[in-house]
Structure 1
């Protein structure tokens, strides 16, 4: 078995999730390459050293540029805030490294377009790049896509998608990087809205073609965090700073296959921790997925006799369901971390077989174009067309 030597940049929430997946993937799946947790990079020497020991990385560094320059690294996994995605990814692709980049791909359409073009150019030399939209890899979501593609719900009429969180409801929660536009690009829109944009386009096979949006920032000033506290409580008497991103984003959309849609992304839905829900209504039935019941898929089959109609619940734990043959006996559920393991599995297989992984950087550019259109629509209070995702080679 060949090796896939991984260097990861960033080691916080997403870094921990990715590390778990890299450690697990070869134990769960029979793959042509063995993932090696070679080097993790971060800005703090003490922090990255501790993370390397805890998360299972063989080495650590505070210089991501030296990591990319190493000959003994095959893939760069980017788990940093959005303001550094483009710089790291472009350098890695230029150095001939495969790239996995967390979502959203970038902080702007211009950056995303440059990254997608670089990925297309690198592909000529066998270098692969993928954006990490992990919810695609939830088995129930993958099954939803299969059922829609097989025509089980007929012509799609309606799409409803929400992603509800409440972690910044408290106005005393500090001004972390996710609340600063120069670092995060946008707020709830890019952080969690990007997921439901990608997920609905993925399962329906339709592209969002136009949007009408509004955004809102409910708490406009927040306490500055203590310098070393990360996501901890703010320092006493440290002053406040402006919140420069949205707290909530809502929009109507038309899809290019004729469906109409509603989207809501907010971090102010009090009581909701990770409430991602998608419902698709078609001419022959409906499908609904709720991440808080992630091993289930609701299915309404309008082709059954009237006396037998009603939403049924599919327990997505059978070995012939997507990804599930690697795990436990039927009825034994899996969790959030498995979506990342499935992500690494698909990426490793694509690299080993010379295939294009999905979502590609071009696919992720398509999501970025939607996010940009939503922001422009909210600013102008008008419908905005979404540009198709195309990449011009250099």
Structure 2
């Protein structure tokens, strides 16, 4: 199914909900916008509740629905498995799909532990030898402004990188009566703000700079330790009581990191940044200039060029909507903005093209594993009074 022989790709998506809607948008739209080398068929969507998954199939354009992912993966008429379930099931589903000869797209973070992520990366490597491809859904790489930022850095726009600042700030947990959803339970989510949104900041920083994090020092904290159980009503009493459950993941993570070559980076992931709805931001500073991006203004970059005359220096806004910018030519005339959902169409485009060409799509499971090791190292650092922890293969033991 590689090397240009693909004529159609029949997709099964495991899971639905918020990410199910976003991924469905990508699968539905990409073939209508881009000239893909293979036809995409939205064959089946899988969920635990037959009624809700059937409703999702009808709403989002899937041909059928099912409740048993194992049966779906075993089908001969499925080529790609897209995993949008909570992290506790990523490893089992992805490994089974790869062993069944299916290409896999898996949402981030890759897994809940380094051990799981390593098993997934090993399975992907074995499958890769048979022409089966696997990719992690770090979708923000495919925001045109982010891809263009990466390109500018590679071209030397900021010169030699001196410092990186990255953060992902949200405020949806500021309300102490927000129920105890699965994202707040370690057995399902693996970690909280650190893994859910901090993973994006880590991947973004490494992607745009081309440098990997080698050491980290940080702290994580849980600000609200008990929340109402789903369906139990609201009103937190301040003490453990019937109808409340323990929050077992972090609400905020703040850490510093050393990249290859010694470049220092600062990172923040929080769900308690009051007023910040989805503020993923990065700023890369070098000896020739700086580049900055904020997802809440996702069609723009800010560029400071210190090689220009001093009296005219200042941050310049670049509107990333020109046909020459990454992905943009397939969409609207210049100045007609793109949105959050477009990254998922770009993700489908890149995955389908890689499958057809017989090449590995990025980020690979190996890249997802590396991010997982960073997450584990930050947690270990927090447990060790913020001491520096190396990011390496020994991180596997940190999740025990």
Do they superpose with TM above 0.5? yes
How far apart in 1 are the matches of 2:329 and 2:123? 36
Shift of 1:35: 1.1
> Which one is further off, 25-34 or 218-227?
218-227
How far apart in 2 are the matches of 1:240 and 1:209? 39
Task: Show the counterpart of 1:372.
Answer: 376
Q: Does 1:205 align with 2:210?
A: yes
How far apart in 1 are the matches of 2:12 and 2:394? 29
SS of 1:357's equivalent in the other structure is coil
Task: Show the counterpart of 1:180.
Answer: 185
Match of 2:253 among 243, 249, 254: 249
How far apart in 1 are the matches of 2:335 and 2:350? 24
Structure 2 CA distance for partners of 1:255 and 1:306, relative to 1, 3 Å: same
Task: Show the counterpart of 1:387.
Answer: 392
> Which one is further off, 272-281 or 236-245?
236-245
Shift of 1:258: 2.5
> Does the CA-based 8 Å contact 1:76-1:100 persist in structure 2?
yes
SS of 1:92's equivalent in the other structure is helix
How far apart in 2 are the matches of 1:102 and 1:250? 23
Q: Does 1:21 align with 2:23?
A: no
Q: Does 1:316 align with 2:316?
A: no
> Does the CA-based 8 Å contact 2:157-2:289 persist in structure 1?
yes
> Does the CA-based 8 Å contact 1:226-1:235 persist in structure 2?
no
Task: Show the counterpart of 2:199.
Answer: 194
SS of 1:86's equivalent in the other structure is helix
SS of 2:261's equivalent in the other structure is coil
Match of 1:49 among 44, 49, 54: 54
CA offset digits 1:113-144 (Å, max 9, x no partner): 00001000000110000000000000000011
Task: Show the counterpart of 2:69.
Answer: 64
Shift of 1:333: 0.7
How do 1:57-206 and structure 2 match up within 5 A?
57-206=62-211
Match of 1:284 among 285, 288, 297: 288
Structure 2 CA distance for partners of 1:49 and 1:214, relative to 1, 3 Å: same
How do 1:294-309 and structure 2 match up within 5 A?
294-309=298-313
Moved over 2 A (4+): 233-238, 388-391
Alignment size in residue pairs? 386
- TM score, norm. by length of structure 2: 0.94
Structure 2 CA distance for partners of 1:322 and 1:390, relative to 1, 3 Å: farther
> Does the CA-based 8 Å contact 1:284-1:303 persist in structure 2?
yes
How far apart in 2 are the matches of 1:68 and 1:379? 39
How far apart in 2 are the matches of 1:280 and 1:209? 18
How far apart in 2 are the matches of 1:235 and 1:18? 35
Task: Show the counterpart of 1:230.
Answer: none
Name stretches of at least 5 consecutive residues in structure 1 with no aligned partner.
228-232
How far apart in 2 are the matches of 1:323 and 1:238? 52
CA offset digits 1:336-360 (Å, max 9, x no partner): 0001110110000000110110000
How far apart in 2 are the matches of 1:147 and 1:212? 29
- TM score, norm. by length of structure 1: 0.96
Name stretches of at least 5 consecutive residues in structure 2 with no aligned partner.
1-5
> Does the CA-based 8 Å contact 2:114-2:395 persist in structure 1?
no
How far apart in 1 are the matches of 2:93 and 2:143? 28
How far apart in 2 are the matches of 1:366 and 1:154? 26
Task: Show the counterpart of 1:259.
Answer: 263
How far apart in 1 are the matches of 2:85 and 2:103? 17
Shift of 1:386: 0.7
CA offset digits 1:162-187 (Å, max 9, x no partner): 11101111111110000000000000
